[in-house]
Amino acid sequence: MAVQQQVDFGLRYHVSLETTNKSFIDMYYYLINIGVPKNKADFMLRLYDPALIGVDPFDYPRLTQQLKARIAIECGRNIWYFLRECVRISTAAGKIRYKLHRGNMAQTYLFERNYNQYDIQPRQFGKTIGSCCCYLWVYNFASRNSEILFYHKDHGGSKSNLKTVKELRDNLPEYLQMKAEAMGQFGRKIKVPNTVETANNPITMNRIVTLPSARSEDQADKIARGRTSVFIYFDEYAFMPYNKTVYAAAGPAFSTAANVAKSVGAHYGIMITTTPGDLTTDEGLYAYQARNDATLWRDDYYKLSDQELKELNESNTNSNFFHVEYNYKQLGRGDDYLKEMVILLQRNWAKIRREVLLEWSEASDNNPFSKEDLSKIKDLCRDPIRTIYFGRHNQYAFNVYEDVDLRFPPIVGVDVSGALYNDSSAVTIIDSRSTRVVADFNCNYIPADDLADLLYTLVTRYMPNAIINVERSGEAIVKIYHSYHTDITTKVA
């Protein structure tokens, strides 16, 4: 059985508009409609082997051995074909096909390219199923001699995810399942050990191991330390006890294994999936900080070349993760979904806010603000009417909340961190007549030179008569002040 290592994106391929999986075609046209060029938007319809056009992998009676082998090879080199044509998901109503949407499309796109990612999606949109499908792909086809670690907030959760992977495997066409038997000497069958806690592939020699949750910081350090795994999956990360210690212990060994994998062209990566947690707990706060440190994924990043995407990822000096997060409306659902979830969760608004609306809980017994106060503050928060992007890769997002009459000079307040000590650089624009906040920017990894470029672009392209008020902040303010020689009115406070 051939096993593909890293995907060669330079191979010629057919765009499989003949597929009967409509969700993949829908995403193709969605990307084209938002301005992604066709040659960048068609990745989910890739088909490298033209002999498989119109071939159903489940049509056992009419498939020759040669076609079965070609399907297996296509699965190894093409995760999109594997998901589009071969995956079947068990539900109460029967087995259904994999449905592609903006969330799992970004998840798979980054996974295929070996980027670390932090995924948040509402309930019942398949973030865990999507993860398990990715890991089944590397377990059965796209890796060899690799160990995959499953972490969860408890051992039952990681074992449940392994069970899901096995169910997905059992739903594949039989010739793609690679069940736990191998042939040894003299044609004897060798039984490969598989339990509720582990899975071993007798052909690819890949292994999935589920790990228990930690009951102490010392145990957390011991559980993760020294395991040279190229794939790590953290599920419900915001609820995992001692997640900071686990990650710190697992990180060095993973980094070593990932560098080796990279050098030989093999796949690797860390995936985090979670629902928003409680900011009054250590694990919730650490997970929230990790989320905020990561580079927020946007759909227009599909336009980037592989080199540009790499540069974008490396431009974040705080994190090498991409943060993938979509709300239920962005994933194609409306108020019917919200009503359904309100009933399903029995009007438990704490769960609804966390699992459906993706809000991080801020309530605690020793909080100086009451729940009513916090609720009022959230009600005063506004969604931007538009977002303006700055930076070489458009990685910095400026939120605009209302339009301002530019006949009256807007006031631009700048708090400079210089990307130091995990502090954020922030820009707030107020209407000089009403003093209302009309736009803002916040980033904890933007270098001072990039912030200077952002301010320069802001006032030369959008607000030529703005008054910039920059906080005095040592070397950072010197960089801001001297980066560009312009005739902008600048006041250093």
Query: Residue 231's beta-bridge partner residues?
Result: 148, 269
pTM of the model: 0.82
Residue 418 lies in a domain: yes
Query: Are residues 119 and 191 part of one domain?
Result: yes
Of 464, 426, 469, the closest CA to residue 445 belongs to 426
pLDDT digits (tens, 9 = 90+) for 154-199: 999 999 999 999 999 999 999 999 875 555 555 566 666 778 899 9
Structural domain for 102, as ranges: 92-325
| CB 395 within 8 Å of CB 308 | no
- 103 membership: H or E segment, kind and range: helix 102-112
The CA distance from 147 to 211, in Å, is 12
Which amino acid, residue 274?
T
Query: Are residues 301 and 161 part of one domain?
Result: yes
Residue 74 lies in a domain: no
For the CA atoms of 273, 276, 279, 282, what is the dihedral angle to 10 degrees? -20
Of 172, 182, 91, 187, the closest CA to residue 137 belongs to 172
Residue 135 lies in a domain: yes
Task: Tell me the three state secondary structure of residue 189.
Answer: strand
Residue 22 lies in a domain: no
Query: Are residues 377 and 269 part of one domain?
Result: no
The CA distance from 336 to 120, in Å, is 21
Which amino acid, residue 255?
S
Q: Return the pLDDT at 370.
A: 61
pLDDT digits (tens, 9 = 90+) for 275-284: 999 999 999 9
In angstroms and rounded to an integer, the radius of gyration of the C-alpha atoms of the chain is: 25
* CATH code (residue 418): 3.30.420.240
Residue 275 lies in a domain: yes
Give the pair of three-digit tokens for residue 149.
């670690």
Query: Are residues 293 and 217 part of one domain?
Result: yes
Query: Are residues 278 and 152 part of one domain?
Result: yes
Residue 67 lies in a domain: no
Query: Are residues 406 and 259 part of one domain?
Result: no
Query: Are residues 432 and 367 part of one domain?
Result: no
Helices (H), 171-270: 217-224, 243-263
Query: Are residues 215 and 301 part of one domain?
Result: yes
Query: Residue 398's beta-bridge partner residues?
Result: 388
Residue 44 lies in a domain: no
Query: Are residues 159 and 275 part of one domain?
Result: yes
Tell me the DSSP string of 162-174: HHHHHHHHHTS-G
The CA distance from 445 to 420, in Å, is 8
Please count the residues of the chain: 493
User: Out of 180-189, 320-329, 445-454, which region has the weakest mean confidence (pLDDT)?
Assistant: 180-189
- Total domains present in the chain: 3
Query: Are residues 372 and 259 part of one domain?
Result: no
Query: Residue 321's beta-bridge partner residues?
Result: 116
- 269 membership: H or E segment, kind and range: strand 269-273
* CATH code (residue 307): 3.40.50.300
Query: Are residues 98 and 220 part of one domain?
Result: yes
pLDDT digits (tens, 9 = 90+) for 113-152: 999 999 999 988 999 999 999 999 999 999 999 999 999 9
The CA distance from 16 to 280, in Å, is 49
User: Out of 260-269, 307-316, 356-365, 461-470, which region has the weakest mean confidence (pLDDT)?
Assistant: 356-365
Helices (H), 7-154: 22-33, 38-41, 65-77, 79-81, 102-112, 127-137
The CA distance from 300 to 323, in Å, is 14
Helix, strand, coil content of the chain in percent (nearest 5)? 40, 20, 40
Tell me the DSSP string of 134-162: HHHHIIIII-SS-EEEEE-SSHHHHHHHH
Residue 7 lies in a domain: no
Query: Are residues 423 and 296 part of one domain?
Result: no
pLDDT digits (tens, 9 = 90+) for 25-77: 999 999 999 999 999 999 999 999 999 999 999 998 899 999 999 999 999 99
